[in-house]
Amino acid sequence: MAAALIDGRAAAEALRQRLAITADFFRASTGRAAGLATVLVGEDPASGVYVRSKGKATREAGMQSFSHQLPVDTREADLLALVEQLNRDEQVDGILVQLPLPDQIDAARVIDAIDPAKDVDGFHVVNAGRLAVGADALVPCTPLGCLHLLKEQLGDLSGAEAVVIGRSNIVGKPMAMLLLGESATVTIAHSRTRDLPAICRRADILVAAVGRPEMVRGDWIKPGATVIDVGINRVAADEDGKTRLVGDVAFDEAREVAGAITPVPGGVGPMTIAMLLRNTLVAAHRRAGLKVPEDL
């Protein structure tokens, strides 16, 4: 029997509807809407589409969207000055600087300059450290979305053996911390892991975030495992030359073995923007001295 499909679009839409209600309550309680500021440097087409979609989703959820687009030759000092301005702006609860940045700008310096209380990407070292020690933190959106899908599919994750393929600061490491927080037993695997297929075959939960098209094969997967495919890779199609999107998992093979699996597209991707909205509302509540609603 083929694996159940984990519908990220449906899960994201349900979450966004709840967030819109929470945003209305926040506005009624404070007299203002929660605000998200996005900063895009340059004109990368993919980044531009992504930033615009974030702004649209923010407005649809009943929050304010502040968009800042800077030319590709912007100096690092000027970007840091804008970040500092947004840190001081009382209407802004969340700041997102779209990555990657042009070569003349040190992304680490920019991330470090963001007020951790407004760091809705969850990349600041303060938020990373708080997550690592189990304290309240703003968590990177993609792994938080993955956790949401896992808990919806499986409920209690306690005791499950989880393998995360990938050790990035954006997905792999925070994903492992989140799973540890749910009392799963976690292995972080990566490009130098010995006998990676054997490691993966132990996993009740397999999260693939390695950025290699269809690297994880069907025979790497434990029968009945839950597979979360974070990868979004554009590859050439067959005869017509059109490109197509695939994940880090060989989907057709994996679906014959797994118990449940996220598709690409339509799995993890929609959850990322939903969790960005969630993080913005969490930041807004904390800054206003309000209790964060439990359903966030």
Residue whose entry in the numeric block shows the structure tokens 């923007």? 273
Rounded distance between C-alpha atoms, residue 32 and residue 49, angstroms:
27
**93 in catalytic set:** no
CA atoms within 13 A on the CB side of 201: 8
What amino acid occupies position 39?
V
Active-site position among 115, 121, 204, 248: 121
**54 in catalytic set:** yes
Active-site position among 54, 118, 173, 222: 54
Burial class (CB in 10 A: 0-12, 13-18, 19+), 76: middle
CA atoms within 13 A on the CB side of 233: 20
**153 in catalytic set:** no
Rounded distance between C-alpha atoms, residue 148 and residue 83, angstroms:
30
In our burial notation (b when 16+ CB lie closer than 10 A, e otherwise), range 155-177 reads: eebeebebbbbbbbebbbbbbbb
* Closest by CA position to 216, among listed 204, 227, 205: 227
Active-site position among 64, 93, 98, 153: 98
**The two three-digit tokens of residue 221, written as one number:** 């997967």
Q: Label residue 242 left, alpha or beta by phi (over 0 means left) and psi (-120 to 50 means alpha).
A: beta
**The two three-digit tokens of residue 106, written as one number:** 């040190």
Helix (H, G, I), strand (E, B), or coil: what is residue 84? helix
**The two three-digit tokens of residue 290, written as one number:** 């309000």
Torsion of CA 47, 165, 135, 115, to 10 degrees: -20
Rounded distance between C-alpha atoms, residue 39 and residue 78, angstroms:
12
Task: Please identify every residue annotated as catalytic.
Answer: 54, 98, 121
